[in-house]
Structure 1
């Protein structure tokens, strides 16, 4: 657990008399407002933002990274005086990567008039439940690229990352340029996996290719990966695209144990789960939807690194950079909404964002557009786990 999370205080909400017990962790980004030279905080109510994501389940690496990055941004904002003279507080609810819990958390936030918006739900089904549960609140930066969710055209949901179709196309185009024509696919049997498979098949067709082998795992969270690994190893594709997230390390270990030597390409959601592989992760390629956290040629990365260090966190990662950028977009919406913003005025303000430069990555929304970012690149894990792009 990082230093930011160590400074959390916990409480259990009971404002609606619910018997359901879940712990909300309130992160008051810069609670020491007086010491930070922001006397206006004493007069204005804080702006509270809800955040439901996995802090203890199979996707906790992604969840904790997203949260740490968002907190680094908010700490910097609060230290500089907040937004329109108001401190920003981020309230975390651990949904343990369970869609039904994510929905319950969202409804709890919606019932609390002090919570203005929700930030970066994690997971396809979790995001689907949240965006439907709170139509009157902005949901900024969901951590999923599933295209079907974007086709809902939900006016309350503001996407900051590119979608999985764009990620898959980047990976397959990269393979094609390298002369690779035997490409395998492994995906889960759920909405995420269905989306990834459809994207792979469409991209392969566009490059006049066919999948050498398609293997499946039971679900996004299932560790039953051995049959899929055996099928991939037997077919011996040059590259296997893994449409898996937290279970990717287990699949890769099983693939190597089964004698499979295929190069592994993953989606952006795969990257943060690879740490347990250690040196075995070296050479794995994956799509990234934010710049490398080490790419200091980007202004946003330089600011991110400085704000992470100021928050007591020297570990840079793709999820934390994504969380930082998600929070930046939300802060811009709050600035535009002005003092005393409401849920409705915040949504309208976010919709007005066009050509907003985060520092090398531009965000474009509009009256009907909610997909703000098209950035996709390919990275490889190098020596000592360093991300190379």
Structure 2
């Protein structure tokens, strides 16, 4: 296994795996007024995600949110007298690396579960590689993965079919009937295409154009942009994530004026567009990070601030909520819980209110959340919903 470092969060990543949420010894904790943990062994949680590639904005956001949640839990005394330690492994958005990271975590008896893997193929590799370990909150909505009914995988976000239906229903309510689709030629893209076709059919509509990009990470978006611009749909549904800004820029350059609607995974990638992002719509599977009418958002903002950040975002709120669900499972599993006990405890979560969003699993159900809304980028990049 690769060496593990215990560096502070602000230091550069110098190894594949780092402990980024760690508290010092009991003596130092006492001096600083922090809780002294009753048991010496921490609860260790693995997190494999893209921390350096095309999806690093999503990955870093997820981790910032989950770290803020766990920091707050540790400050309040931990779970069952133990602190929680979040261990990061950068998979660079490569499925084979995600699998290798998962196998390393599985081989380490001190790692109890895995949190928020990022990406469709990455999640597929991870959930298969660690069947005896809980995988909580994968950051993908691909329906095919959920149909595998993997008992170790707990979904905390709605699926892409639900996102697509919300987007198309919103367009239909506005009287829009010329809708185009752009998707990548991979499992994610194929899933989005089928969802779009089914939803359009239910609304008695047909796509006016279907365009493709080579893959989730390919920046070869020019031909797809040209095809969309030529067809002139009123709205184009984009099944893209980190490559969405390049597509939108290419679409505008090609003379395309279509309104852009996207999946939730597109939102965090829009920052480089600046003012050009204004008016772009997308599905959201958590409340807006500015919607303080939700109790979970108020707690999230407070815990992010306590962790030294006011960079509120959809991915970090999702990571925060994923961590909350995992922590509830740990609480129910009790002290010294095994991996199997944690899976059983998570399966027992039903009607659990995170603070305005309810989570419910069950003996066979692993899709715990149906929340979907639509948001728009407003002035100064603010998310409006």
> So what's the TM-score if we normalise by structure 2?
0.96
SS in 2 for 1:210: coil
For residue 97 of structure 1, give the secondary structure of its aligned residue in structure 2: coil
Cα drift, residue 11 of structure 1: 6.8
**Deviations, residues 227-255 of structure 1 (Å, cap 9, x unaligned):** 00000000000000000000000000000
**CA shift for structure 1 position 8:** 5.5
What pairs with 1:247-262 in structure 2 (closer than 5 Å)?
247-262=243-258
Q: C-alpha displacement at 1:144, in angstroms?
A: 0.1
1:40 maps to: 37
- Report the equivalent of 1:323: 319
> Cα distance, 1:5 vs. partner?
7.1
Name the CA distance, whole Å, in 2 between partners of 1:5 and 1:51.
17
For the Cα contact (< 8 Å) 2:9–2:20, is it kept in 1? no
Deviation (angstroms), 1:30: 3.9
Instruction: Assess, with a 3 A threshold, how the Cα gap between structure 1 residues 33 and 352 changes in structure 2: closer, same or farther.
Output: farther
Gaps of 5+ in 2: 1-6
1:73 corresponds to 2:69 = yes
Q: Contact (CA 8 Å) 2:234, 2:258: kept in 1 or not?
A: yes
Whether the 8 Å contact between 1:161 and 1:289 is mirrored in structure 2 is yes
Q: Which residue of 2 aligns with 1:201?
A: 197
1:93-119 Cα offsets, whole Å, 9 max, x none, are 000000000000000000000000000
Describe the superposition over 1:60-88 as per-residue Cα deviations: whole angstroms up to 9, x where unpaired: 00000000000000000000000000000
Who is 1:27 aligned against? Answer: 20
Q: Following the alignment from structure 2 to structure 1, what is the Cα–Cα distance between the partners of residues 211 and 112? A: 43
- d(CA) in 2 for partners of 1:345, 1:210: 48
| Deviation (angstroms), 1:306 | 0.3
- Local SS of the residue matching 1:216: strand
Matched residues in 2 for 1:244 and 1:193: separation? 8
The C-alpha deviation readout for 1:254-307, integer Å capped at 9, x for no partner, is: 000000000000000000000000000000000000000000000000000000
Once residues 319 and 196 of structure 2 are traced to their aligned partners in structure 1, the CA distance between those partners, rounded to angstroms, is: 27
Secondary structure at 1:272's aligned position in 2?
Answer: helix
CA distance in 2, matches of 1:86, 1:352: 22
CA, structure 1 residues 30+321, in 2 after alignment: closer, same or farther (shift >3 Å)?
farther
* Residues 353 and 53 (structure 1), Cα distance of their counterparts in 2 relative to 1, 3 Å cut: same
Q: 2: distance between equivalents of 1:264 and 1:132? A: 35
Question: Which residue of 2 is the match for residue 373 of structure 1?
Answer: 369
Q: Could you say which residue in structure 2 is the equivalent of 1:115? A: 111
Query: Which of residues 158, 176, 183 in structure 1 aligns to 2:179?
Result: 183
Return the offset for 1:120: 0.3
The question of whether the paired residues in 2 share the 8 Å contact of 1:116 and 1:342 is answered with yes
Q: 1:172 aligned to 148, 168, 173, which one?
A: 168
CA distance in 1, matches of 2:189, 2:196: 10
Separation of aligned partners in 2, 1:118 and 1:354: 21
Instruction: Trace 1:144-293 onto structure 2 (pairs within 5 A).
Output: 144-293=140-289
3-state DSSP of counterpart to 2:356: coil
CA displacement at 1:28 relative to structure 2: 2.5
Q: Which residue of 1 aligns with 2:102?
A: 106
Which among 327, 331, 337 is matched to residue 335 of structure 1?
331
Q: 1:150 Cα shift?
A: 0.1
Inter-partner Cα distance in structure 1 for 2:211 and 2:10: 43
Q: How many residues are treated as equivalent by the alignment?
A: 375
1:93 partner SS: strand
The separation in 1 between residues aligned to 2:162 and 2:213, in whole angstroms, is: 23
Q: Following the alignment from structure 1 to structure 2, what is the Cα–Cα distance between the partners of residues 221 and 159? A: 24
